Amino acid sequence: MATIRIILKKDKTNAKGEHPIVLRLADASNKRAHFSTGFYSTEKYFDNSKNVGRFFQGRGIKAFTVERKEEDGSTKVYTNKEANDKLAELESRASAIIRKYNDDHINWGFEQFKADFVNAPKREFFITYARQIVDREYRANEQFQKALIMEDALTSFENYDAQFGRKMFQDITPKYLESYITHCKKKGNGNGTISIRLREIRHIFNLAIRDKIITPDLYPFSSGKEDGKVR
């Protein structure tokens, strides 16, 4: 059985004295290969002792930021918590790829995995695509009430997060949505209102998967199982 783990690869160092953080994949015969996560760190900031490697985080740990080279070549700054969420997302993506190989009885190799893992989804602003849907599928078909409901959902997220307009699909994780739900409840929004807004966000994700803007592993909503996603 293949095993996946995030590690700090200490045999390599960049110009800043940092080591690459990689996803280590071992196949059934325990042959191993490493794949970049885009992050670098030193041992001071990264806990490499656990089964799941992560940046130090939690009580008594002062928040810090790290840079990541994104799939589109840009550089993005993450807090240590956000970086850990991203590492979890990459692990989830890798696990989904291996699971699909097993389900389809594919005799895979590291080069095939690399092609599927590195071939990241397009990075598009969530709100840009969502407003295209409002114009293309709602207003163009005179479904003005649906357009208003969608716009209300988007405005609600903009009020919650001043940077929402810069969020990619990849940034809207289950934890992000759970934080949004908590925010809405504190503002006095009822469960029905919150559910309607999340339904619109779910719809956008479904359409983005249909249009091949993103891959299904980025879907932040639960399939009904105990999968740690938003119901």
Reduce the secondary structure of the chain to three states and give it as a string: CCEEEEEECCCCCCCCCCEEEEEEEECCCCCEEEEEEEEEECCCCEECCCCCCEECCCCCCCCCEEEEECCCCCEEEEEHHHHHHHHHHHHHHHHHHHHHHHHCCCCCCHHHHHHHHHCCCCCCEHHHHHHHHHHHHHHHHCCHHHHHHHHHHHHHHHHHCCCHHHCEHHHCCHHHHHHHHHHHHHCCCCHHHHHHHHHHHHHHHHHHHHCCCCCHHHCCECCCCCCCCEC
| pLDDT tens figures, 135-173 | 888 888 888 999 999 999 999 999 999 989 888 888 899
Lowest pLDDT segment from 46-55, 126-135, 179-188, 202-211: 46-55
Average pLDDT over residues 200-204: 95
Average pLDDT over residues 105-120: 84
pLDDT at residue 228 is higher than 60: no
